Amino acid sequence: MTLAERLGEWTDWDGAQYELGRALGLFEGRAFAETKGVFWTDNALGNGLHETLLVLVQAGVLDRREEPDEQFRWRATSE
């Protein structure tokens, strides 16, 4: 499954970071519950994954919304 498929619907920020990490092969065989500390604490990996999501938003690859919570989804048509 591709990142585009994994982020086809609005996904909370931590789930989007997890899916990005999975796409990069960082969480092979690990469930979200086993990795959530990466996203919920201040650390280089979690911060880097979030920054990457924001860069993908700037590049027009992802959409971002802040309500009801920060969420991301794959943009249907890239610019």
For the stretch 43-78, pLDDT in tens is: 999 999 999 999 999 999 999 999 989 999 999 874
Q: Is residue 58 part of a domain?
A: no
Percent of the chain past pLDDT 70, that is, above it, reads 97
Q: Is residue 57 part of a domain?
A: no
Pairing relation of β-strands 11-12 and 71-74?
A: antiparallel
**What strands, in cross-sheet order, belong to the sheet with 11-12?**
11-12, 71-74, 62-65
Mean of pLDDT values over 23-43: 95
Range of the domain at 37: 1-43
Q: Is residue 49 part of a domain?
A: no
Query: For residue 5, is pLDDT > 70?
Result: yes
Q: Is residue 35 part of a domain?
A: yes
Looking at residue 22, the DSSP 8-state letter turns out to be H
Q: Are the C-beta atoms of residues 72 and 11 closer than 8 Å to each other?
A: yes
pLDDT value at residue 77: 72
Query: For residue 32, is pLDDT > 70?
Result: yes
Q: Give how many domains the chain has, as a whole number.
A: 1
Q: Is residue 19 part of a domain?
A: yes
Torsion of the alpha carbons at 77, 47, 35 and 61, rounded to the nearest 10: 10
